Chains A and B, each alone.
Chain A
Amino acid sequence: MSRRLALLLVCLVLGRAAEAQRPLADYRYFRALSIDLNGRPPTRAELADLERPDFDIAAWIDNHLSGRGYVERVTRIYTDLLRLELPDSSISFAPRSILLRWTSILGPDGRPIDLYFRNGQRRAQPAIDGQVCFTAAEIGIQVPSDGASIGTPKAVTRKLLEARTVVVRPWWLYADYARPLPRDRASAAWVQRFGYELVWSMFTEPDGRTPMTGVRVCREEAQTAETGRVFATGYVAKKADPLLPGRLTRLPSDTPFAVANAGSSVSCSLAVAFESSHECGCGPGLERCLPSGPNGFVSPWHAPLGKDATFFAAARPAILWLRAWWSEEATKFIEQIFAGDQDVRLLLTSPATRVNGPLAQFYRFFANTTCCGAGTELGYTRPVPLFDPAAVPTTLAPFEVSTWATVENRGEHAAGILTMPIFLLKYGSQRQRAHAIYKAFMCREFVAETVKLEPSTEPDLTKRTGCATCHRRLEPMAAYFARVVESGWTYLPPTTFPLSSPRCTARDRAQMSPACATFYDPDFTDERSTMLRGAYGAPAHADAGPRGFAAEVSSSPDFAPCVVRNVAQSFLGRPLTSDDERWRQELSRAFVTGGYRIRALVQAIVTSRQYREANDVMTEAR
């Protein structure tokens, strides 16, 4: 008995000794590692592990260089640099072809009905072509293209209601919306199931109590065909034309596309189809459209720990709900590169991306509807996309928010974050785009000389006194984005938009057509040649596109030292100085020879003397 007791005592003493405290510096180092690689301070249990004599700090670092905390940490370096979020008011992305407006009409029983329709929807009947699918005589009101209805509503007849409209179970309310009779209706459980949340009190019938089980839509909008036939009415609107009786707008004119392609088939996902075919609707379950109301789509707003741990979410219109995922695409893309310890140059060069349900819907049905605007007058009607809709996984439904899939190849023009909508909108102009990348990935900045700016008529900023200092470098870089429209993602292919377009040349630049002036720079136009906007700094760069810019930046001798600088500064919490230059060069060499992998770089940093001794710990707090 006494031997057992002695053994127990020995064990207790040894056990206590085995958990002896370490020097304070060890604890502080471990806490810093935990904060940087694990995303939180160490727990008491983890401190107890540290105090074990067999604790292996190198193994601990190894184990945590692939965890979520580490990935978030390094991702944060680049999300802070690029700031890829947009305020609600910044960009008005609301193409008519995808936006389902709603208005209230009186049903046959005199009770209000919510009616969904698209502004500008082509219809076979001239009286309602381009407008809501009832005349004022039929429902008592006129519905302007925006704002409140005009007039006193009157009950529509049952026969007319059934003839002109149809009730659809839409994608935002039914998981099986593509089936003939959808039954899997959205519920509060969808937050767990799909990460998708609606403010249910807003999805009711006009009585405010009856849950919405379907939406009444004009019959043309409810069509599901993939293609439609182009039709031309022969009508060309003139300003002097009087409005037809009962109409608030003139009849839609035939577009040049409609005139040229009348009778032929067109894909309903194109904007020209919306403008020139009455056979194109919103598709099964209205998946090719977004409702303008109710504003009950819950969107994460403050989510510093990720969208699955949202600190503040707000109910918003579907169009803003959708936009919230643009920035998340970039974050998920960056995270994937760091989680997989891939070559960091892929941030700029990769054709891949990550999409969830809303993004899949956006790229399949919405992204190309912004094309082609004035480009149609120059023959650009079928967009050459930066993200090929055919590459989008069709298995992702619009409400599948928490399911993310990798798209290995977005298309031949895709280049990392450079061709993502959030980047192209956050940095709307060609120069902004070039500058953002120059700063974040080459750690360079444009600093103007102290020269006097004088009035000048020189349109070439690479030559203009005072401007040339910066623009000599900036304009050639900005030219890489000349084929992506500003504040948008429409690609301008060389076949339709040659660098110099013979059809846009003009002796007097004031005589350029509006379409030509939209895409070609009047300042570089004469009777023999013209110049694609933004390309004059380096015309060859325009054809190389964002991929060319990605190649130039990622092969620059500034690229690796810049990555090292950004990562090291973030981990040290201070700017690198000339005293660090030798260390930075060593890290840069190792980073390049190691294949541009961040994990080895971070490992080298957190095990360095600079990291351990980065901060002045002499001043003790009480």
Chain B
Amino acid sequence: MKGIAFVAACVLAGGCGPKAVITAGPTRALPPHREIVLDSGPKAPRRMVPPEVFLRAYLTWFGGLSPGATLLRAREGDLFDQWTDYLAALGLPDHHFDVPRAMQSNTVMLAAIGRLGEALCIRSVELELRANTPIASRVIFAFEATPQPTRAQFAAGFDVLHRTFLGYPAGLGPPQRLERFFELHQKVVANHAAGQRLTPDEMAWAAVCTALVQHPETGLY
């Protein structure tokens, strides 16, 4: 009871005090601020590159050959099966049977792209790097491929491939991309046994090329 009386006395004493006054201080500019534009536009996942576009690009990467000629060139060494094995997997519609265009990727599609990428890259290594085709005539590996390249030498070649498949300079990609691909190249060189169809360096470039063909950014836009 004594405690309550004491609290009440304090409250009364405070409430009866003089008015609190806030005096104006010196004016000061607001700190600089950053404007953020709110993008309210509808968004969706990135579009899939239409399979027709992928196929046309693929034929272009194979040197502008017809589908039949591409098949003949790619098939050697069991790198390629038949076009019919890949067309539906790539997501093409089949209007004969009302099969619609695939609007989302799936594992079969990715496997098909991987297989096509391997065929393209290994054959291109053979036809361009191994055959020492003049750089101006190369479609894929249009750079001087030095054996066991330094990081700088690798970066120059990687930029060519990056532009070919992803459509922009490698320098504009995520910071670690170059390092990761350089590491891939080095690992393949280190682990690929000599005396096979491709040298370790050739196989390493084929692996980098295949990884870029399969890269999500190649199949999206």
Chain A positions within 8 Å of B, measured between CB atoms, are 21, 23-24, 27-28, 30-32, 34-35, 39-44, 47, 72, 76, 79-80, 83-87, 302, 304-305, 309-312, 327, 572-574, 577, 579-580, 609-610, 613-617, 620-622
Contacts and interface: CB of A to CB of B under 8 A. Distances in A.
B34 interface: no
Contacts of B57: 40-41
Interface in B83-141: 83-84, 87, 92-98, 100-101
Nearest to B94: A85
19 contacts: A24-B168, A27-B169, A43-B164, A76-B50, A80-B93, A84-B95, A86-B96, A304-B87, A309-B66, A573-B47, A574-B42, A610-B42, A615-B44, A616-B45, A617-B46, A621-B216, A622-B174, A622-B176, A622-B180
A161 B18 CA distance: 135
B44 A573 contact: yes
B55 A304 contact: yes
Contact of B52 (A76, A310, A327, A616): A76
Contacts of A24: 168, 172
Given A27-B168, A41-B167, A44-B164, A615 B46 contact: yes
B84 A621 contact: no
B163 A310 contact: no
A615 B43 CA distance: 5
Contacts of B75: none
Contacts of B31: none
Nearest to A621: B216
B96 A304 contact: no
A13 B184 CA distance: 34
Contact of A621 (B96, B163, B167, B217): B217
Contacts of A327: 95
A302 B217 CA distance: 27
Contacts of A41: 49, 53, 57, 165, 167
B23 interface: no
Nearest to B215: A621
Chain B: number of interface residues, binned into ranges: 35 or more
Nearest to B44: A574
Given A35-B221, A609-B41, A27 B167 contact: yes
A44 B44 contact: no
Contacts of A312: 82-84, 87
Nearest to B176: A622
Given A28-B221, A86-B96, A309-B66, A42 B167 contact: yes
A341 B29 CA distance: 58
A364 to B, nearest CB: 26
Contact of A31 (B42, B101, B168, B174): B168
A310 B53 CA distance: 15
Nearest to A302: B87
Contacts of B52: 39, 72, 76, 304-305
A615 B216 contact: no
Given A76-B50, A304-B92, A614-B42, 14 more contacts: A27-B172, A30-B167, A31-B167, A39-B52, A40-B56, A43-B60, A44-B164, A84-B95, A302-B92, A574-B44, A614-B43, A614-B47, A621-B217, A622-B174
